[in-house]
A = this chain, B = another copy of it.
Amino acid sequence: MTRVETVERALDLRRTVDAWRSNHSIGFVPTMGALHEGHERLIQQARNECSRVVVSIFVNPVQFDRADDLERYPRTLDADIDRCGRLGVDLVFAPSVHEMYPTPPACTVDPGPLAVPLCGAHRPGHFRGVATVVLKLLHMVGADRAYFGEKDAQQLAIVRQMVADFDVPVTVVGVATVREPDGLAMSSRNRRLDAYERSLAPRLYQALQAANALIVSGATDVDAVKHAATEVIGTDGRLRLDYLEVVDPQRLEQVETIAAPVLIAGALWVGGTRLIDNCLSVPPASQPALSS
């Protein structure tokens, strides 16, 4: 198998994509590498919907709020490039930090109210960094369609909002979360878990499922739902719940009572690794409205 074409310079990226543009639809999957089956699903969907697929691999320092998290973020570039080749990716863009930020950026994207709750409340500056690098990459690639995982629900909501508010000429596609057999959402950070932590990690998924089961069966009280979910997390010296919230799926604001579809979103520290997951939950009362 020949290695997939891989460029480190934005200029080379642009030249290649510009040569494709008139004859091809360009699909784009931005990643931070350490690719897993979740990324594979994004790439496969791009492959199905577009005639050329570009994957970026860039661990974006400006979206990390903790230096140790940036330091410990898994990096597997050679394996990632091989995986992209097997998946039929046409071009990998793997820039250096200097290529992306030749000078510290003075202009940034202010992601607004969607970045305030949930992870935004726990990771200062994170979504500003995410929105800014996504906008840069969309410009660099000139993609027609860009693919993001639903596991990062708040990121996806902010990217959709940014693309709409800034009239970026790209279609944003959300792709369903891929899970391990025990329900744990695929994540590059799962590699950092030791065996015991890995055995605890599905508790977040189980908690979301418990909350969803209550809502689907008619529970409307947010505190009761959150309490039941927190019980599932349980107590273990390696576990610390960062948040578990029931929010409006569009505005991401906490709801008072559950009368319409909600997003249940959580972040759980498992040892030194912070995992996130979410679940869209539809109460029985709101189901007729969905068919309208």
Interface residues of chain A, those whose CB is within 8 Å of chain B, are: 10, 14, 22, 105-114, 128, 131-132, 135-136, 139-140, 142, 158, 161-162, 165-169
Contact = CB atoms under 8 A, between A and B. Distances in A.
Given A22-B22, A107-B162, A110-B128, 18 more contacts: A14-B169, A105-B165, A106-B111, A106-B161, A107-B110, A107-B111, A107-B158, A107-B161, A108-B109, A108-B165, A109-B110, A132-B165, A135-B166, A136-B165, A139-B166, A139-B167, A140-B167, A142-B169
A86 to B, nearest CB: 29
A75 to B, nearest CB: 23
A108 B110 contact: yes
A109 B107 contact: yes
A139 B163 CA distance: 10
A32 to B, nearest CB: 18
Give the residue among A110, A113, A161, A169 with the most B Cβ atoms within 10 A. A110
Nearest to A10: B167
Contacts of A165: 105-108, 132, 136
A36 to B, nearest CB: 28
The 10 residue pairs across chains A and B that have the minimum distance between CB atoms:
A106-B112, A105-B165, A107-B165, A110-B110, A139-B167, A107-B162, A136-B167, A108-B110, A140-B167, A107-B112
Contacts of A167: 10, 136, 139-140
State the oligomeric state as a number of copies: 2
Nearest to A110: B110
A114 B168 CA distance: 24
Contacts of A128: 110
Contacts of A162: 107
A251 to B, nearest CB: 9
A267 B209 CA distance: 61
A56 B131 CA distance: 27
A291 B105 CA distance: 29
A113 B108 CA distance: 11
Contacts of A111: 106-107
